[in-house]
Amino acid sequence: TVGCVVVDSEGRCAAATSTGGLMNKMTGRIGDSPLIGAGTYACDLCGVSCTGEGEAIIRGTLSRDVAAVMEYKGLGLQEAVDYVIQERLDEGKAGLIAVSRNGEVAYGFNCVGMFRGCATENGFMEVGIWE
């Protein structure tokens, strides 16, 4: 699975996710990536893209929950990401990346590693795999 989240200079957020799914999956199987609110979500507050155990991401409506806890609990972006990764996955393993309309970027994962890269207008840039 691959994904990208962006907030542009006008504060507009967007998210996109694309995948081949699981190796040896049944034909006809649909995972989290195409499901809006599960693998992909964007609103005026943030943009989110998820990857990992599709069934766990779907059951946890993971990407929408990041936006929801920002909206209803007033959490900041990284707090919202940490909360959702810790509280919404049950025993599932997943990771996600997110941006906020304020130009912040965040990510979180509860399994061994996630291929990710992030950058902001003020010059921050990071590419990583492990914790």
50 membership: H or E segment, kind and range: strand 46-52
Pairing of strands 94-100, 46-52: antiparallel
Distances (CA, A) of 105 to 3, 33, 61, 65: 14, 20, 20, 16
Catalytic residue among 1, 17, 40, 51: 1
Q: Which is nearer to other proteins, 73 or 126 (CB)?
A: 126
Q: How far is the CB of 73 from other proteins (least distance, A)?
A: 19
**Is 40 in the active site?**
no
Smallest separation (angstroms) from other proteins to the CB of 84: 14
Least distance (Å) between residue 89 CB and other proteins: 11
Closer to other proteins at the Cβ: 73 or 115? Answer: 115
Q: 45 with 71: CB under 8 angstroms?
A: yes
**Selection from 81, 90, 79, 78 nearest residue 63 by Cα:** 81
Closest approach of Cβ 86 to other proteins, in Å? 15
Q: Which is nearer to other proteins, 3 or 68 (CB)?
A: 3
Half-sphere exposure of 112 (CA within 13 A, CB side): 0
Specify the residue, 55 or 83, whose C-beta has the smaller distance to other proteins: 55
Contact 65, 88 (CB under 8 A): yes
Residues noted as catalytic = 1
